[in-house]
Structure 1
Amino acid sequence: MQNDNKIFEEIKHSPDLNPRTEFVNDTRHLLIKKANRINKVSKIKKLSYYWSVVIATVAITAWISLFGGNQYILKSYHNVMSAIPKNNEESITASNKNPSVFIYHTHTTESFTPFLENKNIDQAYDENKNITMVGAELTSELKKKNINVLHSTTDFHKILRNRDLDYSKIYDISGKEVQTVLDKNKNLKLIIDIHRDSQLKDATTIRIDGKDVASVSFVVSENSPNFKENRKIANLFHQKLEKKYPGLSRGVLMKEKSRTKNPNNQNFYNQDLFANSLLLQIGGVENTIEEENRSVELIAEVIDELLVELD
């Protein structure tokens, strides 16, 4: 059997072929017929593609107009855009080594009656299901916005019990952790001590876009040496919430100065440690975790705006 090289050599040195005219004509007609068939198939594909685009456009338009698809698109757009660093400083802010927000909970075990078998509002405290879950949700929402957050779940009540200290000393205990965090993180812009209010649901719930949302309030100590700065950041936060979601914030509550001049009897709520300190109450004792989380999503939007102004 001849190998390929020998066959190629024979073809190479063979005389020119002179096909019959009938063969050439038949071959030309066959090729033209095949070309026409291919062209026809191509036109059908283009027509199918055109109508697919038309149908898809009509369907998307109907979805946006009739089923609220525009809200989904806007939310998706904002989620994507918020995940893109705006500049080099924002990228640094998102670094694990450079938190810009610190969240903690002085009253760590504050819980919600929908979580608990015991519906007594005066006993709505739990070591596991408590306000730290709300702080964790806020941390998650802020990280989605490329904001790095340090969240503490330290149980300050447990520390009090272990040291046999009076309950009035709890801010002293949480304040030590705040100071430690400040010492280690020089670029913090905002510190938030998150609580839940003791008021009932009627006073701590608002309707937004057809859903129940936990309302919020701020507490500022007039005793704090940073009182003016503390009040300024709380008022700014309140105003931004009021502008975006009227009624979500119940305002800034002032704790009057103590009549005693003894500094040991003054309650600063740790606001003396940092100018941009907030005591933020999200919802109340009867709110559900779903209502709390809806509030957190809106709060995160405002914090994102607020941090820009704190640069």
Structure 2
Amino acid sequence: MQNDNEIFEEIKHSPDLNPRTEFVNDTRHLLIKKANHIRKVSKIKKLSYYWSVVIASLAMIAWTSLFGGNQYIVKSYHNVMSAFPKNKEEILTASNKNPSVFIYHTHNRESFMPLLKTKDPIEAQDKTKNITLVGAELSSKLNEKNINALHSDTDFEQKLRNRKLDYSKSYDISREEVQRALDKNKDLKLIIDIHRDTIPKEESTVKIDGKNYAKVVFYVSKANKTYFAQSLNLAKTLNYELEKMNPGLSRGVILKDSPNTYNQDIFPELALIGVGGPENTLEEEYRTIEKIAEVIQKITNE
């Protein structure tokens, strides 16, 4: 029996073939017939795919509109999305185990004239470029000092608008987030609500070692009947340490007669801090934040 190589050599050296015209035509018609069959099968497959998509879409529409499938989809969506962090607070919760400091901003849109390039203090409000940048800086500085800190940049003002609530209800909205932070993180030792005050530049700024710093003030609500003594002691301690390390940086502790507790009634170590005013620069704010981080490190270690 001949092997493949022998057959190949025999064909290679065989004389040229001269097929009959009928054979060529028959072969051509056969190839055309097979090509048409292949195209027909391909077209049928495409039409089947198209109608499958159409039928599936119609079935989905009928299911969602007639049989309550939309509720299932919404529920499934929320279940999936709940597995992912929705905002910075939750991202930090996932990345920092056992946080000891939680930072947030009840009046989160308070901003700075130099940052927004405006000369009107009333216009020193912004959705993104605002006091939350200062809180983020404090969180970063604390984490650098091995103090686990959570920072929330939640837009509470937007939540007020969504619920059609007055601005005076800001603390009611931020209270919900403070409570969530407490529920999720059992090792919290300090909570800080950072604001920007409304005082002019000459009152909100101090020069230390040739550099401008935004001055700090600590507020304590008299309406807080639950933890008033602890809130006052915390404010006095922070103020004392800050002044001892940086004389003139603090404007002191101010007791407020407001009926609002500033959420100090739900946690004994909750400090409301005002840093600078509308005319301060972000650099001045950041310099002060570095000093506040040093104080927090000191009292945390103690």
Q: Same fold (TM over 0.5)?
A: yes
Alignment pair present for 1:132 and 2:125: no
**1:116 Cα deviation (Å)?**
1.6
Alignment pair present for 1:302 and 2:298: no
Aligned to 2:168: 168
Aligned to 2:27: none
Alignment pair present for 1:251 and 2:252: yes
Matching of residues 266-305 of structure 1 within 5 Å:
266-305=259-298
Q: Secondary structure at the match of 1:99?
A: coil
**1:97 Cα deviation (Å)?**
1.7
Q: Distance in 1 between matches of 2:119 and 2:210?
A: 27
Stretches of 4+ aligned residues off by more than 4 angstroms: none
**1:152 Cα deviation (Å)?**
0.2
Post-superposition Cα deviations, 1:192-234, rounded to whole Å, max 9, x if no partner, equal 0000110011001111111001110001001102111000000
Post-superposition Cα deviations, 1:224-262, rounded to whole Å, max 9, x if no partner, equal 021110000000000001111111111001002x6xxxx
Aligned to 1:226: 227
Indicate the RMSD between aligned Cα atoms, in angstroms. 1.0
Aligned to 1:213: 213
Q: Distance in 2 between matches of 1:281 and 1:111?
A: 12
Matching of residues 190-209 of structure 1 within 5 Å:
190-209=190-209
Aligned to 1:122: 122
Aligned to 2:111: 111
Report the AA paired with residue 129 of structure 2.
K
Q: Which runs of 5+ in 2 are unaligned?
A: 1-94
Matching of residues 79-158 of structure 1 within 5 Å:
96-158=96-158
Q: Distance in 1 between matches of 2:167 and 2:249?
A: 31
**1:117 Cα deviation (Å)?**
3.4
**1:308 Cα deviation (Å)?**
2.1
Aligned to 1:26: none
Aligned to 1:184: 184
Q: Distance in 2 between matches of 1:213 and 1:165?
A: 35
Q: Distance in 1 between matches of 2:234 and 2:222?
A: 14
Aligned to 1:239: 240
**1:180 Cα deviation (Å)?**
0.7
Q: Distance in 2 between matches of 1:268 and 1:122?
A: 26
**1:177 Cα deviation (Å)?**
0.4
Q: Secondary structure at the match of 1:197?
A: coil
Number of aligned positions between the proteins: 207
Q: Distance in 1 between matches of 2:132 and 2:96?
A: 20
Q: Distance in 2 between matches of 1:284 and 1:308?
A: 30
**1:140 Cα deviation (Å)?**
0.9
Q: Distance in 2 between matches of 1:209 and 1:177?
A: 39
Q: Distance in 1 between matches of 2:261 and 2:134?
A: 23
Report the AA paired with residue 230 of structure 2.
E
Report the AA paired with residue 265 of structure 2.
D
TM score, norm. by length of structure 2 = 0.67
Post-superposition Cα deviations, 1:149-193, rounded to whole Å, max 9, x if no partner, equal 000000000000011011111100000100011011111010000
Report the AA paired with residue 285 of structure 1.
P
Report the AA paired with residue 236 of structure 2.
N
Q: Secondary structure at the match of 1:129?
A: coil
**1:128 Cα deviation (Å)?**
1.1
Q: Distance in 1 between matches of 2:188 and 2:254?
A: 24
Q: Which runs of 5+ in 1 are unaligned?
A: 1-94, 259-265
TM score, norm. by length of structure 1 = 0.65
Q: Distance in 2 between matches of 1:117 and 1:296?
A: 22
Q: Distance in 2 between matches of 1:240 and 1:294?
A: 16
